[in-house]
Chain A
Amino acid sequence: MNGKSCVRCGNKAQLKRPKTGELICKECFFVVFETEVHETITSSNLFSRGERVAIAASGGKDSTVLAHIMKVLNDRHDYGLELFLLSIDEGITGYRDDSLESVKRNKEEYQLPLEIVSYEQLYGWTMDAIVAQIGMKNNCTFCGVFRRQALDRGCELLKVDKMVTGHNADDVAETVLMNVLRGDIARLQRCVAIVTHDESGGYIPRAKPFKYTYEKEIVMYAYFKKLDYFSTECIYSPNAYRGFARELIKDLERVRPQCIVDIIRSAETFQFDTVNIRKQVISRCEKCAYISSQKICRACVFLEGLNSGKAKLSVFESEGKTQKSKARRVEEEEKVERSKVSILNADW
């Protein structure tokens, strides 16, 4: 093996950085990786001193590295944050129970308090029970809607000011492409924001400290630091995480790795015609008070269906039952389709 040298220190290089093409050694990689995340945090003013911050922790690679780095940077740069781990237990035997074990090890290692919110306690249903009733077809839609709300409930319990998620540059670039391909301008504008929140303050702001961090570097960092993470797919959505947009991004990355950050930068610099972006009117669900653009939020609609044993009907056909024109119905069905895709992407 011939040795190439690190551009920073001259020692043996061990990694080629996808963003810059630089060759770098392991020790220098740790420094630049951590420094860049710190710079993202400070230049975007992600946090204020004294804030309570929940780390959405799934036990997977991104959130495991995120928990590690948040702890390291908070200590090193004295952000003055109070950090918490927040996990959702969907109730999926052989998947979530194993990944929660990995979160529990993180809790011990980083000495962070852990809150686990389960679908069973929140909704009275585990995903196992839901799948037993409705089958494998739309279960990811249920799960995505429930998870989003469960994370917010967890944040309420922890009384945090913010939540951070492990979304990385590859995830953001993928979402940009999906929104371009769907012509979803409102989401396209929102998906590159480093912090998302709604104006009414309805849910806790969510921040992405890894917005510019490549997946390759996150995995390399975990590998070199020997961080313990869980990497099995959800048994109910084999490969669902890998849509065609992801495939395309990975192919492009192999040819020109910079494309990932370029896609993000492009979307950040787009000028949006705000007149044509229809603002959603946000109100509160009449049943559970969760923010919703409808009178009853989607989680409650799902639950009603599940509890009455007619889940399939309630979710995908109830809207069509009332007398609406066919065109309107088609439009709504499309909306459901679109939101299904976006829910897959909205996962951490």
Chain B
Amino acid sequence: MKVKVEFSGGLELLFDKATRLTVDVDEKTTIKDLIAYLKQNHLKEKPELFMSGDSVRPGILVLVNDVDWELLDGADYKVEPNDNVVFISTLHGG
């Protein structure tokens, strides 16, 4: 199934300046799986600035269809076809 992914707040710099991607993932893919997939297939540099353990590093916000992932199941949320998953870094200078 196709899922849309967006990067902002400086995270796009780790993904070859890509702000938007469409990825094709299996059914029952969780955000955690998606993070691993993005690291595997799209992350270009400094994985430690994107990931911590098997999730995103603290300070990166995640929204699914404009809803804070903390309202969903966080990293265990199962993505659905055409979901729009946004990763925003809060860690870049203000």
Contact = CB atoms under 8 A, between A and B. Distances in A.
Question: Which of B8, B68, B90, B92 is most buried by chain A, counting CB atoms within 10 A of its CB?
Answer: B90
Contact of A14 (B8, B10, B13, B67): B67
B59 interface: yes
A254 B69 CA distance: 13
B94 A348 contact: yes
Interface in A210-239: 215-216, 218-220, 223-224, 231-234
Nearest to B73: A2
B64 A231 contact: no
B90 A219 contact: yes
B66 interface: yes
A220 B62 CA distance: 10
Which one of B13, B59, B70, B89 has the highest number of Cβ atoms from chain A below 10 Å of its Cβ? B59
Nearest to A23: B71
A130 B24 CA distance: 48
A219 B10 CA distance: 12
A232 B94 contact: no
Interface in B27-71: 57-59, 61, 63-68, 70-71
B88 A219 contact: yes
B70 A61 contact: no
Interface string A312-348: 0000000000000000000000000000000000011
Among A60, A231, A242, residue most surrounded by chain B Cβ atoms (within 10 Å): A231
B61 A63 contact: no
Interface in B1-19: 8-10, 13
A25 to B, nearest CB: 10
Interface in B70-94: 70-72, 80, 86, 88-94
Contact of B10 (A2, A12, A58, A233): A233
Contacts of A232: 10, 13, 92
A38 interface: no
B9 A220 contact: no
B9 A231 contact: yes
A345 to B, nearest CB: 12
Contacts of A83: none
A140 B71 CA distance: 40
A318 B72 CA distance: 58
Nearest to A240: B93
A16 B59 contact: no
A230 B89 CA distance: 12
A27 interface: no
Interface in A226-276: 231-234, 241-242, 250-251, 253-254
A90 interface: no
Contacts of B10: 231-233
A204 B25 CA distance: 55
Given A219-B9, A219-B61, A250-B58, A1 B72 contact: yes
Nearest to B9: A231
Contacts of A171: 94
A16 B61 CA distance: 11
Nearest to B12: A231
A163 interface: no
Contact of A4 (B9, B61, B71, B93): B71
Contacts of B72: 1-2
A14 B94 contact: no
A254 B71 contact: no
A26 interface: yes
A220 B61 contact: yes
Given A1-B67, A231-B9, A251 B58 contact: yes
The 7 closest A-B pairs by CB, nearest first: A62-B94, A250-B58, A231-B10, A231-B92, A16-B70, A15-B68, A250-B59
10 contacts: A171-B94, A218-B94, A219-B9, A220-B61, A220-B68, A223-B63, A223-B88, A232-B13, A233-B10, A233-B92
